[in-house]
Amino acid sequence: MPSWNSRGLRGSTLEELINKTLEKYRESGLCLIQKIPTPITPIKIDKENRHITLAYFEQKSTVDYIGVVQGIPVCFDAKECVKDTFALQNIHEHQVKFMEEFEKQGGISFILIYFTGKDEYYYLSYNELQKYWSRMQNGGRKSFRYDELNTKFLFISGNGVFVPFLETIQKDLDMRD
């Protein structure tokens, strides 16, 4: 059974920025998306600081966020990438399967990747993820490079929000028509 320790806090800054963005979007009536907590069973707790230092995951998680944008169901995961190469091992097979099933139900699935060295975000649509995932399963690269990405889906902070991803959802929708 997988365990969690302080490594589990990786990406917490990105998630905090996304949470603040979602709060602003919600206040503006643009969407209602919530962070999905990962159920854990604490094993060790630092009583002085009131922090969990070791825990076990109770079950496999799906994605980080689920909600609705202007009547469209969305689900997504948030990942950080320090280098110009994103390892697909950062995405789990059960997450890809969940995203596939979500898409089959008429929803939109994607991954928000923050390239920390470039201070840029990338909206990785499920369709694009599937391309890289299939390549890996067929014996190809187990990662994708920054220079392989569709530049239309790169964005930076702005418009009064930290992670302004709504415009990229619209671009994804436009490409599906």
The reply, when asked if residue 64 is annotated as ligand binding, is yes
* Residue of 83, 66, 131, 73 lying closest to 104 (CA atoms): 73
Reference 135, options 147, 122, 148; nearest CA is: 148
**Residue 71: phi, psi to the nearest 5?**
85, 0
Residue 174 marked as a ligand binder: no
Rounded distance between C-alpha atoms, residue 63 and residue 163, angstroms = 17
Please tell me whether 95 is known to bind a ligand: yes
Residue 101 makes CB contacts below 8 A (sequence gap 6+) with: none
Pairing mode, strands 120-125 and 154-155: antiparallel
With contact defined as beta carbons under 8 Å apart, do 96 and 129 qualify? yes
89 is in an annotated binding site: no
Q: How far is CA 162 from CA 14, 18, 109, 165, in A?
A: 9, 7, 20, 9
Binding residues for Mg(2+): 62, 64, 77, 95
Annotated binding site: 62, 64, 77, 95
